[in-house]
């Protein structure tokens, strides 16, 4: 019955209650994002073990495939953290709207809420989860209509493909460089391992020089 009244211009939702409802939904979405991150991190650790196992066998092809999975997992986690930050930003800005409601009796348009929601609505599954809230915010006058064109995610995929080989090499060097550096086709991994070893060797030499100087001082 209440929905029918609202549809035909009946009693509007209480602004404060609506803000609190949105904040509750945003917190729910943040918890869902946290679960996704934990699941991906668990999978990433498992894949890392698989990389080392493949490296031990000398199976460089499997190493590359698995490392690419780890690169994609890292990219996904970074995007999820950005989503979580935007969800938190929307929640905080809505909290500021409560003060506005107390002063003027209604919600006002918010450029910061609009900006954060626009980023979230370009994130596939997140857009589906927040679709109803977005419509409610537009109806309440907090944001304007947004167009989800998927440009951001498309650019992410393009950038990932361009940087994939370099990122895969970094992952392999970090996870199993000690086993892969001398294998055929692993020249990029060997270079990264060597680049990491040189500063360590230099530091060790400097420490030895310092020790020699202290020993010489003691003898004199």
Sign of CA dihedral 181, 185, 188, 189: negative
Banded model confidence at residue 202, pLDDT cuts 50, 70, 90: low
Residue-wise pLDDT for 167-182, tens only, equals: 998 999 899 888 888 8
Higher-scoring residue by pLDDT: 163, 20: 20
Sign of CA dihedral 50, 54, 56, 57: positive
Banded model confidence at residue 154, pLDDT cuts 50, 70, 90: very low
| CA–CA gap between residue 136 and residue 98 (Å, rounded) | 16
Predicted model pTM: 0.73
**Under 8 Å CB-to-CB from 93, ≥6 apart: which residues?**
110, 112, 113, 116
| CA–CA gap between residue 106 and residue 152 (Å, rounded) | 33
Higher-scoring residue by pLDDT: 163, 98: 98
| CA–CA gap between residue 147 and residue 67 (Å, rounded) | 35
Question: Which residue ranges make up each domain of the chain?
Answer: 2-175
Averaged confidence pLDDT in the chain: 81
Q: What is the pLDDT of residue 158?
A: 53
| CA–CA gap between residue 45 and residue 70 (Å, rounded) | 9
Q: What is the pLDDT of residue 166?
A: 86
- Mean pLDDT for 66-94 is 92
Which range is least confidently modeled, 61-65, 143-147, 190-194?
143-147
Residues of the chain with pLDDT > 70, as a percent, come to 74
């Amino acid at each position: 019955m209440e929905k029918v009244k609202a549809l035909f211009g009946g009693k509007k939702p209480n602004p404060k209650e609506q803000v609190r409802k949105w904040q509750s939904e945003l917190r729910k979405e943040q918890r869902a994002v946290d679960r996704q991150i934990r699941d991906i991190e668990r999978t990433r650790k498992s894949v890392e073990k698989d990389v080392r196992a493949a490296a031990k066998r000398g199976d460089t092809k499997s190493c590359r495939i698995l490392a690419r999975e780890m690169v994609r997992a890292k990219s996904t986690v970074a995007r999820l953290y950005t989503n979580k930050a935007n969800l938190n930003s929307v929640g905080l800005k809505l909290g500021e709207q409560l003060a506005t409601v107390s002063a003027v009796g209604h919600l006002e348009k918010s450029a910061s809420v609009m900006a954060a929601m626009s980023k979230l609505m370009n994130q596939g599954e997140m857009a589906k989860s927040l679709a109803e809230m977005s419509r409610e915010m537009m109806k309440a006058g907090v944001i304007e209509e947004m167009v989800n064109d998927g440009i951001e995610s498309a650019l992410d995929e393009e950038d990932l493909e361009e940087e994939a080989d370099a990122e895969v090499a970094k992952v392999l060097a970090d996870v199993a460089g000690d086993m892969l550096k001398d294998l055929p086709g692993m020249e990029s991994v060997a270079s990264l391992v060597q680049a990491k070893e040189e500063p360590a060797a230099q530091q060790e030499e400097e420490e030895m020089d310092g020790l020699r100087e202290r020993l010489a001082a003691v003898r004199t």
